[in-house]
Structure 1
């Protein structure tokens, strides 16, 4: 079956006074949470993780995607199967929105629990239709027993960031075309791992604008009122400094690298970040694998989501080629005091010193791995 994708377009209106208002256009929540998403239904040919992202029928029958009694969406890894060595892929979930969102969008993600554990690699991210060439935004991502979230943007060659950008997170890698992309590490507490759920979870908001990409994070106690009272219109002008900012600069014109984006939720296992030996052994014993009993290894490998909501700055316009006026936050500039340098908490995929930054879902192990994955996919499809 072919799905027709609806394209949610919005004009980026000029600021009126200090107001920067966004209107609700999609609400993924409650009993209808899964209505607006497609299930991937294939093995992970993106980051070569040891999973099978199941289709909707299997997700339902295996109880891997459902709405719980509290009205929250649950997305989880299979923790009931004792997987033999000759079946190296464990069932899990990848969801992609049917809708695509253009500049002038704001996406809000409210969760009370994030997947964690050895080999576990969850993410809430976005991608363009001609992926990986139309850009990628990693809003929530981490691996294994990490305790803080990592944010990133991934582009083709020609986009870089630097320490002069005003943001509360710490900058990592600065070349957005490399495997890790341009990364920023969250400095607020309890943004990932066990502590996230134990402290009530939190909320992320991502502004996708012609002036750049800006990501805010709030622990549960600090979530703005408009994000807890089901407001259908949001003014972001009082949100302050974002955790991560990727503004348009002379070193990167965002509009040249990004097109309308789809939202993606997934859980991978092992693969080209979580499974890299030096990174895995930094917090977990042995070598990364998904075989054997599913419990207790994957008892904590689940999302619990209050909602995902999409807002835009105005009514839809006929095409995405209009040249809007930016509504980007004025604090996310490149002229202020720079953020601190990145901490050195591990090794990257190449073994160099630095934060253990993740790979793009697009670049994975590079062109060779992508070609291999495509070839393997054809073989599987025709076998």
Structure 2
């Protein structure tokens, strides 16, 4: 009976998650793509990657709009990097945070791939690890399929037996004791050269009290409800998600706070640079247990050929919500109407999660491997210090 009731719960949650219309909140596309993003502007102190994330003034050749009107985010593949230095790359975070009741759609023509390359499209709350992380797109080196994951503190698990296309390879989302709960994509063309050859594809993430659901479609299979969407989107025809994390096994409002969208590319680091993962497919020869193998083989010297495919090409990133109050500041408070939307929004009220979560990436080609914490307290170091000062002052007032 317990099993039967759990199954009914999963079915009902899935139906609830699929039956909603959402209003456009932000349309990141064309010449204004980068307007509402902040550049990290610091070395990778989050996953120990061998990159320096440039600030916006240094990003001219690494973050730009190409002749097709698409946004390019890439690794520097023209500079000679001396030993003991890092290669330039980009990490951007949305200036907006999204509360429960939102949907994020990523239309991408090209993903970064290649030896030492570790890209991510993900989200994280201001308070990490207490309010969770969602990994939507992530891979390393010569992986051929995308990996999705949640990272939280103890108590959140990925449900098995859902209607999702892919089931979790690791069910425990507790990042402090592993690599989060991971789901490997089994559909074709979700990463690497095959993704690019197929013309790219689309991911969508629903962030909802009933659960977190991630869809992927290769270019030929993108639903008409996405390609024709203007000021709103209907997700009821999307079918089964690629990954489903229903609230029946993870209390979403408890473990996830408002999420900031993040795009980055690092090199080597705590996952791609692990000798046992890098060496077999990417090291030409030498000691494959050397921890600096990835850095020495690819990062330094001339990176022109190594990183020719290490770039994102975004057609658009569009975000939607049940109403405009889903668009919030990092502390979960609704933004002012002047900053709330570039599309049309209506309605009032919001549903905002609070609680705990954490960040740490995992595995390749179905195997799980910890990748190190991707702490996201604030997009920029100066913002972090300002946020800490505000928090300290507020706590003093309460006392």
**TM-score between both structures, scaled by the size of structure 1:** 0.79
Residue in 2 that maps onto 1:121:
118
Q: Which runs of 5+ in 2 are unaligned?
A: 1-14, 285-292, 335-348, 354-361, 386-399
Determine whether 1:151 maps to 2:148: yes
Residue in 2 that maps onto 1:330:
none
Residue in 2 that maps onto 1:76:
74
Residues 1-383 of structure 1 aligned to structure 2 (within 5 Å) = 19-60=19-60, 63-87=61-85, 89-178=86-175, 179-249=178-248, 251-286=249-284, 287-289=293-295, 290-316=299-325, 348=363, 355-357=367-369, 359=371, 361-362=373-374
1:59-85, CA deviations, whole angstroms, 9 ceiling, x for partnerless residues?
11xx00000010000000000111111
Match of 1:98, SS state, is: strand
Match of 2:34, SS state, is: helix
Structural RMSD (CA)? 2.8
Q: Distance in 1 between matches of 2:366 and 2:303?
A: 32
Residue in 2 that maps onto 1:6:
none
1:175-234, CA deviations, whole angstroms, 9 ceiling, x for partnerless residues?
111342110011111000011111100000000001110000000000011221242211
Q: Distance in 1 between matches of 2:133 and 2:41?
A: 21
Q: Distance in 2 between matches of 1:257 and 1:360?
A: 20
1:123-175, CA deviations, whole angstroms, 9 ceiling, x for partnerless residues?
00000011232100000000001110000010011111242222101321111
**8 Å CA contact retained: 1:183, 1:357:** no
1:19-54, CA deviations, whole angstroms, 9 ceiling, x for partnerless residues?
510110101110000001000000111100000000
Q: Distance in 2 between matches of 1:73 and 1:323?
A: 31
Displacement after TM superposition at 1:86 (Å): 2.7
Q: Distance in 2 between matches of 1:167 and 1:19?
A: 16
**8 Å CA contact retained: 1:79, 1:299:** yes
**8 Å CA contact retained: 2:164, 2:243:** yes
Q: Distance in 2 between matches of 1:236 and 1:282?
A: 41
Displacement after TM superposition at 1:279 (Å): 1.1
Query: Per the alignment, do residues 348 and 104 of structure 1 end up closer, same or farther by CA in structure 2, a change over 3 Å counting?
Result: closer
Larger fraction in helix: 2
Displacement after TM superposition at 1:315 (Å): 3.7
**8 Å CA contact retained: 2:257, 2:352:** no
Match of 1:171, SS state, is: coil
Match of 2:59, SS state, is: helix
Displacement after TM superposition at 1:323 (Å): 7.7
Q: Distance in 2 between matches of 1:324 and 1:121?
A: 33
Q: Which runs of 5+ in 1 are unaligned?
A: 1-14, 327-346, 365-369, 379-383
Query: Per the alignment, do residues 228 and 357 of structure 1 end up closer, same or farther by CA in structure 2, a change over 3 Å counting?
Result: farther
**Which moved further from structure 2: 180-189 or 314-323?**
314-323
Residue in 1 that maps onto 2:390:
none
**8 Å CA contact retained: 1:53, 1:92:** yes
